[in-house]
Structure 1
């Protein structure tokens, strides 16, 4: 019998159980479908949200991620339709690059580079398709400073077995394919859970506890080895007989039968029958496969499957070597009833809590962006006039410098207004403090749509939240505006010592200006304060009761008031426009005090 050759086992997993699993950190794509020679870079996180206009390339990015994560006989294979313009052109081959953060030296020193900014260790891999079919995979050798045909982590099937298993759910895919993907998500989770089922160890047994599945594999391997041992004479007799026959034609030749046990037993064992299906229908009535259900039913079942994963995976005893998963979901808002949107969003954001799932979604809905999460990267995908596609990271919580109070305020704001994140989708952003300003500006926008195209009014619902939103917009390095009430330093309430009580809203002014000063270019921001508040400044009295509704009535009936609010909105959009009466563009609180003194009627105090 031929001697068995033992290959060294090389995996992405560290041999040290205390070392975290490697983390995918960046995906770079060139010359793939609608993405051209200018590379698109996507920073990866537990949750990646791709935003942008239609036909900008978001779905192409999902597909690229699936291609390099996929495994099996069709792993990484492209068709001619995946090449730019459907042609194979030298110098314009599809190319993808993956950066993986590692926490020890298991891949080998020659592959590990240290990021100058984050100090994290990472490994670079590249896939290039010089023709239709499978790619060439290369690793970047940091010692030679060049790409090498050798690769970190060994053969593709070894490396990919420890990378996330992709589950791509496209927006308008074939019902049968969508049904198969939902079934695969559930089957993969259930299969792993079955593998981890354990029975009580026999009394006196030593060593680590074995699962029932591991005992099954051990028994099959033992039977294989026994069968090979028992058939040794028959195999040797066949080898001798064949060698004597072949020797008549090729003297000195012999035949050897390379008989050895199946190494990867798991691939040859199916716990469930092939092409298992999910059936759905009324209890006691006809139940059909989900491929025959409507789009809304299939999407609802997808959310039910993800919720099942959310609620049960954390409870299960998971093995460190278990393969992780990545959900690639195109437009999760499709076919969702409004009441289901919040539940669907929660399911997506909760999925990575068990550290075994990553999520990448494309969306046109601000409701699927949760600003209060720590594990979210938001990327805007844009197509230029020349057709080039660019991916720009808009938001990462750590870079936005949000503190715990910011996150609490944003979480509450997200609950009250799930569309607050509309500014991620482009346009000029205007942050306002309250409902009255928001309602007044929305009335102007609806009345003059051509004059204010692309303007987003963000309702902060409080002065402290303004500072939190400013930090996020600073992170974009974008141009935006803020309108808030100056308020007064003192309230009308009297303390026990007879002195007027200080106004907490006044102290928030300093937080707002401090946040704006954090912008890389503060001149991109216009900060206006209504003195002393929006209602008094523009409607000549402090509205009581239903302030937004009263403002709306005034604007619809009073053309002078309408024009004043319109000019204010223009000044917030065009930073070069003159400051309207009723507000002040300010940089220090002493400027606000000066304006308040002009109004008279209330005592003002210098801030400490």
Structure 2
């Protein structure tokens, strides 16, 4: 490429901004993150499809925190924080055929970086792909862009220099589970300071002026910087020559080189606020101490207070840069009564402002499927690699409004409903009585049923809503329901009987093996021979405890739900046609 053309391309890149001047245009957002050969993640690439909210679940030490670290890492490109330690390489060794690699896909809506970098998705959105590769520890990675013209990775990257490119992507905010008090204080302070910085950048002395006052100051600094560099070049050369003369007397053939290049990110040289702002907390009109001197519970509560403020600010800063919150184990140090409120804060954040969220958690309370913006990903460690399985995506689940209402009510009744996302075989039961009976069997034989999760739907219709979710990621699960009767006691059509057709339809054209068993006409009648009028769960416990035959039948029913080859007890039927239930 001729020099003139190169200069022109560079100028275009520097002037490009993904943040549209039109406030009605969406801000850029992350679509996916792919990682390979990084820490415990091996040569088999893992890919995380990003939503407004991504919840990473899985056992301890499975690699969830490494996924959060990956995005933060590439956003540090251009600084030493982007350099890897030898321990970040697979097996703490540098293998040129298995180098750490992170790929990021960003959706842009306006002022794209050039047609050669834009891939159109099936939805018609503009997609930009970038890749970072680390060839050795303690050195900057190589960054590449996907060029659609050559259908290959290209050294000529979109958006140019790292600091310019980073300013075009959503800004990360990482909050580790066990950060030091000092680092936690910095993380909270940075969240608040970033808001102020964004506001400062929008100030205009005259609303008719083209650029903000901040932009004009940066432009002035750039011009001044160019003049300084130009005028100082002779002085730099003189310093190098003169000092090198004295150096040569002691170390022959040695000289110095003074690297006094201008700071590429001019914004680093100017801030209207002090470089190290402090955040303190204390009793009103009393003593205030630094956040890092507060207890862990107080620091974590302050974090949630800050996030709550961000979610409540609505469109107050609607033209600000988009953000990504990377949060490790949000349940840590929270009182049980505060966990649900914390979950609500997270789900409100993307709805009101330009935020995406990725969290790791061991708490099912932080999952709310009644929302349309949540993806659940299970992270597990195999013998050789880390594996990621997308368990749930709203666009594929296709929940209707009744389903969302059902799941929302279940969240209220049972905050641990979503434990099935964390592993194990799922069995959906209709009510409290069978849930209690099976729980008693599980407690009596803990080793035999340690990997079994009983989901209490609390209603026949809700079974359908829960099953839509399970069909997303489970190739086999079980359903236990009451057959009910075709007619009610007053000889009218029974709506509960009609739901049997819907349960039967769950197996249609899905390729999923659903083990469906019905109790005639309900669980109590099938197992106990009679239906208790009051305190049904307690009555079930007493009957199972006092009658070995009943306990045997309940265990047989549970075993037949776990293993489709096992026969259920009398009055319980594994059915496929409605006539089987009559």
5+ unaligned residues in a row in structure 2: which ranges? 1-6, 242-259
Give the aligned partner of residue 127 of structure 2. 122
Tell me which of 29, 39, 43 is aligned to 1:37: 43
Q: Secondary structure at the match of 1:492?
A: coil
Shift, 1:167, TM fit: 1.3
Give the aligned partner of residue 454 of structure 2. 457
Shift, 1:335, TM fit: 1.4
Deviations 1:180-218 (A, max 9, x none): 11111121123323444678x6xxx7577x7xxx33653
Tell me which of 367, 370, 373 is aligned to 2:368: 370
Are 1:581 and 2:579 counterparts?
A: no
Aligned residues: 550
| Distance of 1:97 and 1:462 partners within structure 2 | 45
| Distance of 2:218 and 2:169 partners within structure 1 | 27
2:19 and 2:110 in contact (8 A); partners too:
no
Deviations 1:45-89 (A, max 9, x none): 110111111111111111112101236633522222221222222
Greater alpha carbon shift after TM alignment, 190-199 vs 77-86: 190-199
CA RMSD of aligned residues (A): 3.0
Deviations 1:304-334 (A, max 9, x none): 110011111x140422xx3221111111111
Are 1:60 and 2:57 counterparts?
A: no
Give the aligned partner of residue 251 of structure 1. none
Tell me which of 439, 455, 464 is aligned to 1:442: 439
| Distance of 1:265 and 1:149 partners within structure 2 | 24
2:331 and 2:361 in contact (8 A); partners too:
yes
Tell me which of 414, 419, 422 is aligned to 2:411: 414
Give the aligned partner of residue 82 of structure 1. 88
Shift, 1:145, TM fit: 2.0
Give the aligned partner of residue 390 of structure 2. 393
Shift, 1:27, TM fit: 0.8
Q: Secondary structure at the match of 1:466?
A: helix
Change in CA separation of 1:343 and 1:382 when aligned onto 2, cut-off 3 Å: same
1:228 and 1:260 in contact (8 A); partners too:
no
Q: Secondary structure at the match of 1:370?
A: coil
Give the aligned partner of residue 569 of structure 1. 558
| Distance of 1:14 and 1:163 partners within structure 2 | 13
| Distance of 2:232 and 2:374 partners within structure 1 | 64
| Distance of 1:307 and 1:109 partners within structure 2 | 39
Equivalences for residues 295-444 of structure 1 within 5 A: 295-312=296-313, 314-319=314-319, 322-384=320-382, 386-444=383-441
| Distance of 1:409 and 1:337 partners within structure 2 | 26
Give the aligned partner of residue 11 of structure 2. 7
Shift, 1:417, TM fit: 1.1
Change in CA separation of 1:562 and 1:198 when aligned onto 2, cut-off 3 Å: farther
Shift, 1:437, TM fit: 0.9
Normalised by the length of structure 2, the TM-score is 0.87
| Distance of 1:23 and 1:191 partners within structure 2 | 21
Give the aligned partner of residue 250 of structure 1. none
2:201 and 2:213 in contact (8 A); partners too:
no
Change in CA separation of 1:78 and 1:452 when aligned onto 2, cut-off 3 Å: same
Shift, 1:358, TM fit: 0.9
1:474 and 1:520 in contact (8 A); partners too:
no
Are 1:520 and 2:521 counterparts?
A: no
Structure showing greater radius of gyration is 1
| Distance of 1:364 and 1:146 partners within structure 2 | 39
Deviations 1:105-148 (A, max 9, x none): 823332233446x5544222110011122110111222222211
Shift, 1:34, TM fit: 1.1
| Distance of 2:181 and 2:111 partners within structure 1 | 45
